[in-house]
A and B are shown apart, each in its own frame.
Chain A
Amino acid sequence: METKTIRVDLIARVEGEGALDLRIEDGRVSSARLNIFEPPRLFEALLRGRGYEEAPDITARICGICPIAYQMSAVHAMEDALGLQVGDPWRALRRLIYCGEWIESHALHIVMLHAPDFLGYADAIQMARDYPEIVQTGLTLKRTGNEIMRVLGGREIHPINVKIGGFYRVPTKAELAPLADALKRAQDAAIKILRWASGFPFPDFERDYEFVALRHASEYAFNEGRIVSSRGMEIAIADYDSEFEERHAAHSTALQSVVKRRGSYLVGPMARYSLNFDRLPTAVQALAREAGLGSTCRNPFKSILVRGVEVVYACQEALRLIEAYEPPGRPAIPVTPNAGVGHGCTEAPRGICYHRYEINRDGIILNARIVPPTSQNQLSIEEDLREVASRHIDAAEDKLRDLCEQTIRNYDPCISCSAHFLKLTVHRV
């Protein structure tokens, strides 16, 4: 009997902190648990007693990398509670600011956090010594995403302009024009990075996930649509609780979501892409195929390519939205509070982000529920880890540890959303 323990005190290049506990008994992986020690900040509790109009700004603070996801889910849920329909051009502007977040967040993950895994660097700064042009291109791309957030939202982290009913101030056409020039260059940069990443060595690894994403009648979904899955689920956003439940495991401060009666599922770029390939423009589909992707992607290591495709799409979509934009006569639809319950679900860069609020007639929040993407992916990450570790059970400890870390980074996990500290422990008994 052999007993070995590997420890990684902190899994790097993820947002937030957690630990992995891997147990190997008699040459078999007997358990793989992702421990999230992110100190709970108790958002759903601190939202009680706050005003309905504060939800977008407060929930943005759940995640500094994807604040727009929280603002969008909150604003749509509140408008649902208030019986408010907010159409174009506000709808288009919300799509545009979301494009900015996808570009910024995906570019950060592809170039700064994920690519170093495939090429054997500790970080993008080391990688920049050998690939200076690519790292610069990635940073330029990221800056363009951030510029959209700045122009529309006032700043890139915790933007200030999202309001129930619309915006505090809407941009003029002239204010959006410089973005279009930057986006044309960004689109070329995104294609270059996608082609570069398509040459990475990808492990031959696929799993039969239940993909869950939003699906819209005609668009690649950001803010609206029905929640669909690769195993036949198709529900309205308001029916989220009928199909999903959250479980609280002793080893994690993040709640784990499951599909009722089935179990783990996967949200994020691979799910979105595989369920909505037909919603991508033909030119983007062609680039995806050129990068070696089919219409479905079940290899989590190739999620870097799917993110690459989504960045190209987000640049194109942002350009289309800017070209079609006509400013509204007023920045927002006036709102008067009423008692109600509202649901919102939008596509964060890492997958669907669900909010539900109950407010009273004065617009004070009575109850809040927030399901971030990473808590939904937690079980899938654990299953991937179990499978990856099983296939490389005899690998040297360093190699096994690197593979496990990469398996986690495939998800671009945002652990600060979920609830610090990814410590990898391998027990070999």
Chain B
Amino acid sequence: MNASPRPRLAVWKFASCDGCQLSLLDCEDELLTLASALHIANFPEASSAIEQGPFDLSLVEGSITTADDAQRIRRVRQQSRHLISIGACATAGGIQALRNFADVNDFIAAVYASPQYIKTLATSTPISAHVSVDYELHGCPISKVQLLEVISAFLAGRKPAIASHSVCVECKQRGTTCIMVAQGTPCLGPVTHAGCGAICPSFNRGCYGCYGPMETPNTAALARQWKTLGATAGELRRVFRSFNAGSEAFQKESDAHGD
């Protein structure tokens, strides 16, 4: 087990859609190279060869929504030298954190005929709410380019080169005309963490914030701009309360727009 000198990688899943760990398998051109630089010791979605810890690097996808998972993440942390949470679920609670704004029992009754069979927590919370996290990679889904950068940085023992500016900078970099200025299309780009490459504006669509808040976002100023473009309070609440509803900045802004 310890014969391999390569760092040992583990991938873990909590409440999620599998999309962020799929980003690893989507590295079609880099996957086999990656597998030679790292020893993939625990990646159940890809391999039935599942080894015991300890692990040098754990990638954690998903949010904590059950009492069992709240215990399981502690065991993962104990076995992991470095732990990186990947994606909106693991870093902010994901879309399933909408339950945090409602009565979870109403939610369960809306889906299941026999709610008594369902054991789930009242909230969906990020990994950092339960254990210490060495790095958080944002996005719904994460960018595989950024994932490879974070893994490479870990292998080299350096800080990942992940920009903390907004999506606006990425629009400028790719030469996309600002759709909010030029077309009056409401856009969350000014407050949203870069990383996707500013995809939505390049498709004539306003950013919908799937990478979560940038560092020090001015959400209140952006909300005022949206109102002048015709957005209602309900729309503003919904737009800040989506895939990163559990992030502090977006949560506070969504609370400011009642019915």
Contact = CB atoms under 8 A, between A and B. Distances in A.
Interface of A: 9-17, 38-46, 48, 50-51, 54, 57-58, 61-65, 67, 108, 112-113, 116, 122-126, 128, 135-136, 139-140, 142-143, 146, 154-158, 160-161, 163, 167-169, 246-250, 253, 255, 331, 405, 414, 416, 420
B162 interface: no
B35 A158 contact: no
Interface in B21-52: 22-23, 25-26, 28-29, 31-32, 35, 40, 44-50
B40 A125 contact: yes
A163 B206 CA distance: 13
B48 A123 contact: yes
B204 A331 contact: yes
B15 A10 contact: no
Contact of B107 (A45, A65, A125): A45
Centre residue among B23, B28, B202, B204 by max chain A CB count within 10 A: B28
Nearest to B232: A362
B205 A16 contact: no
Contact of A125 (B32, B106, B118, B196): B32
8 contacts: A12-B48, A13-B45, A58-B95, A64-B22, A139-B31, A155-B199, A160-B208, A246-B113
Given A42-B110, A63-B18, A420 B13 contact: yes
A42 B99 contact: yes
Given A123-B40, A247-B113, 13 more contacts: A12-B44, A13-B47, A14-B45, A39-B65, A40-B112, A42-B120, A44-B110, A46-B99, A63-B19, A112-B25, A136-B32, A154-B200, A157-B141
B46 A160 contact: no
Given A41-B95, A51-B235, A64-B17, A255 B45 contact: no
Contact of A45 (B16, B94, B110): B110
B196 A155 contact: yes
A61 B140 contact: yes
Query: Which 5 pairs from chain A and chain B are nearest by CB?
Result: A64-B19, A123-B47, A12-B48, A122-B49, A45-B107
Contacts of A16: 13, 18
Contacts of A39: 14-15, 65-66, 69, 120
Contacts of B204: 168-169, 331
Given A15-B45, A158-B140, A169 B66 contact: no
B242 A58 contact: yes
B110 A48 contact: yes
A64 B20 contact: yes
Interface of B: 13-20, 22-23, 25-26, 28-29, 31-32, 35, 40, 44-50, 65-66, 69, 94-96, 98-99, 102, 104, 106-108, 110-114, 117-118, 120, 124, 140-141, 196, 199-200, 202-205, 208, 210, 235, 238, 242-243
Nearest to B235: A51
Contacts of A124: 46
A54 B210 CA distance: 13
A160 B114 CA distance: 35
Contacts of B107: 42, 45-46
B23 A157 contact: yes
Contacts of A122: 47-49
A248 B110 CA distance: 13
Given A123-B47, A416-B16, A160 B205 contact: yes
A309 B31 CA distance: 26
Given A13-B47, A331-B204, A51 B66 contact: no
Given A46-B95, A112-B25, A146-B26, A125 B18 contact: no
Nearest to B109: A45
A40 B13 contact: no
B108 A42 contact: yes
Contact of B65 (A13, A41, A246, A416): A41
Centre residue among A43, A112, A168, A249 by max chain B CB count within 10 A: A168
Contacts of B99: 42, 45-46
Contacts of B29: 139, 143
Nearest to A138: B28
A62 B113 CA distance: 20
Contacts of B200: 154, 160, 168
B109 to A, nearest CB: 8
B85 to A, nearest CB: 16
